[in-house]
């Protein structure tokens, strides 16, 4: 079967999803990221790898943080970065996604970092580039609909590997709004590919997708049951807009059942780490004592995220 | 490129060459000199020089993958090792150590990377062998072995089971 992410030589040409990525490609990205981590700690935080390349951040959906981390990563690789606020310009004027892309290719873009509310938009873009014979232009998915957020998944794997070294004995709990979370989907795919012993999905019935069991995870509706003896706890952001619907009674009720407190965290292993993709809602999905506590690795995740995005762009641009 | 087999050359003992290299460096060594080895062969040689010259400072390790000029052709395939310069290079005399000096492009990349850590007082180059065919104006300050090899030949330094450095010569098709 044709894998749209790989070129004819089996090398990574676009990063669209963790699904379909061979294990050795994931490991190569993580290994490369550890070299880039050192670059960001230097006096001159820059390597000349992408000198003269143009990276276009094309965000059809707002996300200051993700866009900024991609921008920092590209700049540390010496690329020229162009941020396009397409929601307020071309799209608002009625231009289609592919027309926007064709225009940017005509401006000699080398790489697109794309976020789109529609699942599959980065795939559409990658297959369009192939069709017009521009396989030399690369696409990075920075989040598409509810589908995938592969760089977040990869940086989560980098974080876990950094603290836990090996995946084979790990029990990882993912807690919260898995239904709407592209991060959760990417994490589950990555954890299964890397051979984690057990992945648990914890949340209320209304926030777990019906197909979740097919993804090879253990479903827990009870937080205590799900956290017991786990090595890694990944908390997901509860999007405020979900509160207004019929999915949840109230933020307070949610915190009572699924918010991570020190007391609940004690059920996990004593050396368990707590992760969160940010931005956090303190007092909704995570208590401040935990977020600022010794087991939280939420800020290191941000630092690792730059190195992982540098690795992804560095590898793509060379293929 | 010739299709005739190249005349066999006798490959010297690389461990003896490390000792020779150390003796070449010794008279020029300053108390604040720092060694920086280029991955991977250069790091092996730098570790030996550190021992032979009785240096108590750590050595720096450098992987030039992010600075190479053939990235466009080769990409980032090989496993990249993190560069580690565990000292302040500012105003210090550095000796860059590599196993083979060939086109000079690796040396160029390494010098560029070193300058991203600061401004060294000087950078010298120590190699086990200069095999000719330079493409840049670069020469070694310390070098115990000079030989001209055909571009179809590849001189490879490796470590054997007893951790001894040995040379081998490969022919490209």
Alpha-carbon span A190 to A17, nearest angstrom: 10
Mean per-residue pLDDT, A87-112: 87
- Residue B38 inside a domain? The answer is yes
Of A28, A47, A318, the CB nearest to B67: A47
H or E stretch covering A251: helix A251-258
- Could you tell me the pLDDT band of residue A245, with boundaries at 50, 70 and 90? low
Distance CA A163, CA A272 (A): 9
User: What is residue B6's predicted lDDT score, i.e. its pLDDT?
Assistant: 56
Rounded to a whole number of angstroms, the distance from the CA of A48 to the nearest CA of chain B is: 6
- Which residues have a Cβ under 8 Å from the Cβ of A85 and sit 6 or more positions away? A59
Nearest CA in chain A to B70: A318
- Give the per-residue pLDDT at B1: 46
Paired sense of beta strands B153-159 and B165-171, if any: antiparallel
Tell if the CB–CB gap between B116 and A11 is shorter than 8 Å: no
Q: Which of B76, B84, B118 sits opposite A315 (nearest CB)?
A: B76
Nearest to B116 among A32, A34, A44 (CB): A44
Of A35, A38, A319, the CB nearest to B75: A319
Of A234, A218, A258, the residue nearest A174 (C-alpha): A234
User: Please, what CATH class does the domain formed by A150-300 belong to?
Assistant: alpha beta
Of the pLDDT bands very low, low, confident and very high (cuts 50, 70, 90), residue A9 is confident
pLDDT for A203 equals 93
Burial bucket for residue B93 (CB in 10 Å: 0-12, 13-18, 19+): middle
What integer pLDDT is reported at residue A297 of this predicted model?
98
B74 touches chain A (CB under 8 A): yes
Digit-coded pLDDT (tens) for A133-184: 998 999 999 999 888 999 999 999 999 999 999 999 999 999 999 998 999 9
Position B162 in a domain: yes
In B, minimum Cα distance to A317 occurs at B75
Digit-coded pLDDT (tens) for A298-317? 999 999 999 999 999 999 99
How much is the pLDDT for B2? Answer: 46
Domain parsing of chain A, residue ranges: 23-149+303-317, 150-300
Model ipTM over 0.90: no
Structure pTM?
0.89
| Position B4 in a domain | no
As for how many domains chain B has, the answer is 1
DSSP code of B122? E
Question: Residues of A with CB below 8 A from B117's CB?
Answer: 42-44
Is A150-300 the same fold as A23-149+303-317?
A: yes
> Any CB–CB contact under 8 A between B82 and chain A?
yes
Q: Which of B66, B81, B83 sits opposite A49 (nearest CB)?
A: B66
Which residue intervals of A114-250 are DSSP H helices? 121-131, 150-164, 182-193, 223-227
Q: A35-83 pLDDT, tens per residue?
A: 999 888 888 899 999 999 999 999 988 888 899 999 999 999 999 999 9
Please indicate whether, in this complex, the C-beta atoms of B112 and A39 are within 8 angstroms of each other.
no
pLDDT in tens, B19-28: 999 999 999 9
Q: Does B110 touch chain A (CB under 8 A)?
A: no
Which of the residues in chain B have pLDDT under 50?
A: 1-3
Contact between chains at A48 and B67 (C-beta distance less than 8 A): yes
Instruction: Tell me whether residue B6 is in a domain.
Output: no
DSSP β-ladder status, A111-116 and A54-59: parallel
H or E stretch covering A114: strand A111-116
Give me the CATH code for the A23-149+303-317 domain, please: 3.40.50.1370
Residue B20 maps to which CATH number? 3.40.50.2020
Binary contact (A42, B116; C-beta < 8 A): yes
Interface test with A, best of B64, B68, B75, B86 (most A CBs within 10 A): B75
Residue of A nearest to B80 (CA): A32
Q: Which residues on B lie below 8 Å from A76 (Cβ)?
A: none
Instruction: Give the Cα separation of A160 and A141 in Å (integer).
Output: 22
Domain that holds residue B105: 14-171
* A32 contacts in chain B (CB < 8 Å): 76, 80
Q: Please list every residue in chain B whose beta carbon sits closer than 8 Å to the beta carbon of residue A319.
A: 75
Binned at pLDDT 50, 70 and 90, residue A259 comes out as very high
Distance CA B59, CA B82 (A): 14
Which residue in the set B72, B75, B116 is minimally distant from A46, CB to CB?
B116
Q: Indicate whether A211 pLDDT > 60.
A: yes
CA angle A20, A201, A248 (to 5 degrees): 120
């Amino acid at each position: 079967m044709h894998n749209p992410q790989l070129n004819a030589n089996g090398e990574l040409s676009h990063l669209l999803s963790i699904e379909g990525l061979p294990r050795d490609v994931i490991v190569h990205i993580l290994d490369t990221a550890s070299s880039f981590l050192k670059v960001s700690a230097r006096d001159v935080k820059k390597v000349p790898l992408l000198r003269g390349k143009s990276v276009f951040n094309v965000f059809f959906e707002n996300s200051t943080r993700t866009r900024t981390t991609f921008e920092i990563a590209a700049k540390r690789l010496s690329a020229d970065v162009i941020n396009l606020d397409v929601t307020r310009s071309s799209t608002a004027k009625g231009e289609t996604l592919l027309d926007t892309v064709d225009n940017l290719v005509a401006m000699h873009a080398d790489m697109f970092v794309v976020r789109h509310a529609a699942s599959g938009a980065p795939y559409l873009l990658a297959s369009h580039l192939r069709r017009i014979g521009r396989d030399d232009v690369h696409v990075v998915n920075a989040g598409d609909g509810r589908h995938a957020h592969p760089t977040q998944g990869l940086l989560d794997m980098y974080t876990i590997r950094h603290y836990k070294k090996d995946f084979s004995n790990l029990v990882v709990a993912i807690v919260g709004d898995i239904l709407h979370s592209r991060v959760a989907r990417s994490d589950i795919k990555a954890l299964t590919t890397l051979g984690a012993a057990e992945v648990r999905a914890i949340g209320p019935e209304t926030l777990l997708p019906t197909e979740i069991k097919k993804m090879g995870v253990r479903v827990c509706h009870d937080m205590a049951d799900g956290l017991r003896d786990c090595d890694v706890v990944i908390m997901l952001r509860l999007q405020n807009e979900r509160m207004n619907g019929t999915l949840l009674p109230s933020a307070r009720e949610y915190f009572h059942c699924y918010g991570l407190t020190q007391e609940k965290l004690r059920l996990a292993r004593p050396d368990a780490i707590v992760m969160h993709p940010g931005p956090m809602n303190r007092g909704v999905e995570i208590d401040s004592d935990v977020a600022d506590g010794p087991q939280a690795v939420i800020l290191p995740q941000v630092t690792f995220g730059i190195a992982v995005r540098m690795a992804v762009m560095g590898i793509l641009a060379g293929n | 490129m010739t299709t005739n087999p190249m005349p066999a050359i006798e490959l010297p003992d690389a461990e003896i060459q490390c000792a020779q290299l150390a003796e070449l460096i010794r008279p020029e060594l300053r108390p604040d000199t720092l060694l920086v080895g280029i991955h991977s062969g250069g790091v092996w040689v730098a570790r030996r020089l550190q021992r032979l010259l009785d240096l108590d400072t750590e050595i720096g390790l450098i992987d030039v993958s992010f600075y190479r000029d053939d990235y466009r052709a080769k990409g980032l395939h090989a496993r990249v090792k993190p560069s580690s310069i565990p000292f302040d290079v500012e105003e210090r005399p550095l000796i860059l150590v590599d196993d083979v000096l060939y086109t000079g492009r690796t040396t160029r990349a390494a010098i560029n990377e070193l300058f991203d850590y600061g401004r060294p007082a000087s950078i010298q180059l120590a190699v086990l062998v200069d095999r000719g065919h330079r493409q840049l104006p670069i020469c070694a300050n310390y070098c115990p072995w000079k030989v001209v090899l055909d571009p179809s030949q590849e001189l490879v330094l490796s470590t054997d089971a007893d951790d001894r450095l040995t040379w081998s010569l490969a022919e490209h098709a």
